């Protein structure tokens, strides 16, 4: 079984819209053989990471960084999973009001530390509109399609 793990912090209805668009894209009818596991960042564990073949990380921007929830996820999985996940594909999305750059950079640095391969450009959203939902759908579809190989 090929698994795409979606680890997200989704604190509000607008961010929920983005998550649902990502998940819809990952479940596009053109995708076959990829199981999508969506897990809130505060509940995601080392086994979730080890048992997945690729990753999508979603977060709000908070104080110029990723959310405390997603940071907690990385704090509790990073060293245990180091060396076990290198080469696997990943993508990320960040939602904020006006400045998402620090959050996106922080997630990318950790993904680089893990040796993950960026499979899509990081998506930074400041307005939850159709364009943002479409971009999230494409992000989910791109990661799932990458795992179809």
Ligand X SMILES: Cc1cc2nc3c(=O)[nH]c(=O)nc-3n(C[C@H](O)[C@H](O)[C@H](O)COP(=O)(O)O)c2cc1C
Residues that bind ligand X (CB under 6 A): 11-12, 14-15, 60-64, 95-100
Considering the complex, what minimum distance in angstroms separates the CB of residue 34 from ligand X?
27
Q: Which is nearer to ligand X, 87 or 98 (CB)?
A: 98
Give me the residue whose beta carbon is nearest to ligand X: 96
What's the full length of the chain, in residues?
A: 149
3-state secondary structure of 95: strand
Residues 6+ apart with CB under 8 A from 149: none
Q: Which is nearer to ligand X, 23 or 125 (CB)?
A: 125
Considering the complex, what minimum distance in angstroms separates the CB of residue 119 from ligand X?
23
Q: Which is nearer to ligand X, 106 or 145 (CB)?
A: 106
Considering the complex, what minimum distance in angstroms separates the CB of residue 57 from ligand X?
14
CA–CA distance, 76 with 67 (Å, rounded to integer): 14
* 124 strand-pairing partners: 94
Q: What angle do CA 42, 111, 40 make, to 5 degrees?
A: 20
Residue 61: closest CA among 133, 21, 9, 134: 9
Considering the complex, what minimum distance in angstroms separates the CB of residue 127 from ligand X?
9
Considering the complex, what minimum distance in angstroms separates the CB of residue 96 from ligand X?
2
Q: Do residues 4 and 35 make contact, with C-beta atoms less than 8 angstroms apart?
A: yes
Q: Do residues 48 and 39 make contact, with C-beta atoms less than 8 angstroms apart?
A: yes
Q: Which is nearer to ligand X, 44 or 104 (CB)?
A: 104
Q: Which is nearer to ligand X, 15 or 142 (CB)?
A: 15
């Amino acid at each position: 079984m090929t698994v795409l793990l979606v680890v997200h912090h989704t604190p509000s209805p607008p961010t929920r819209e983005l998550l649902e668009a990502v998940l819809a894209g990952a479940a596009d009818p053109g995708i076959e053989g990829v199981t999508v596991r969506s897990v809130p960042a505060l509940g995601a564990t080392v086994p979730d990471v080890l048992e997945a073949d690729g990753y999508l990380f979603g977060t709000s921007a908070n104080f110029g960084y990723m959310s405390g929830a997603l940071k907690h996820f990385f704090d509790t999985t990073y060293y245990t999973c180091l060396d076990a996940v290198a080469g696997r594909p990943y993508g990320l999305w960040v939602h904020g009001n006006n400045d998402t750059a620090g959050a996106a950079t922080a997630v990318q640095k950790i993904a680089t530390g893990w040796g993950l391969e960026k499979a899509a450009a990081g998506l930074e959203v400041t307005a939850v509109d159709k364009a943002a939902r479409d971009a999230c759908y494409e992000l989910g579809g791109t990661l799932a399609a990458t795992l179809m190989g």
